[in-house]
Amino acid sequence: ACLKGLKEQGCDGPVTQAIGDIENYLIKKTHN
């Protein structure tokens, strides 16, 4: 939630990539 808040404030690029990585990790973790 914090990272998405930063993205909305304009801190784009690496933050967006990090959010994608974290979401992908959580999705894989929950589907095991």
- pLDDT for 1-32, tens place per residue? 566 666 666 656 777 778 889 899 998 988 87
Domain boundaries, the chain: 1-32
Total residues belonging to the chain: 32
Contact between 3 and 15 (Cβ < 8 Å): yes
pTM: 0.45
3-state DSSP call for residue 2?
helix
**C-alpha to C-alpha distance for 31 and 24, rounded to whole angstroms:** 11
